Amino acid sequence: MSAPNSAERKACWDARDLLWKCLDDNQDQAAPCQKFQSEFEANCPAQWVKYFSKRRDFLKYKDKMEKEGFTPAEGPKQPS
């Protein structure tokens, strides 16, 4: 598979942006965004779809950590 040209990259990024906006507007509900998901998968190489999906999860997690901070889980209680 050859690398996408600039028009194909732009189509992919535009489809990704529309999907992410839909997901943000619908609080990550996938059902209302199915049309955008299909366009995203049709316009982007499969490896890019996988990368961008992981990237979105990471960015949302990073944003949550910046806003709420990190609270470590409690470990097992030590015997007295």
pLDDT digits (tens, 9 = 90+) for 34-74: 999 999 999 999 999 999 999 999 999 999 999 988 777 78
| Contact between residue 8 and residue 16 where contact means Cβ atoms under 8 Å apart | no
How many Cβ atoms sit within 10 Å of the Cβ of residue 36?
Answer: 19
Q: What share of the chain is helix, strand, coil (3-state, %, to 5)?
A: 70, 0, 30
Q: What are the extents of the domains in the chain?
A: 6-66
Please say if the pLDDT value at position 75 is more than 90: no
> What pLDDT does 80 receive?
62
pLDDT digits (tens, 9 = 90+) for 9-31: 999 999 999 999 999 999 999 99
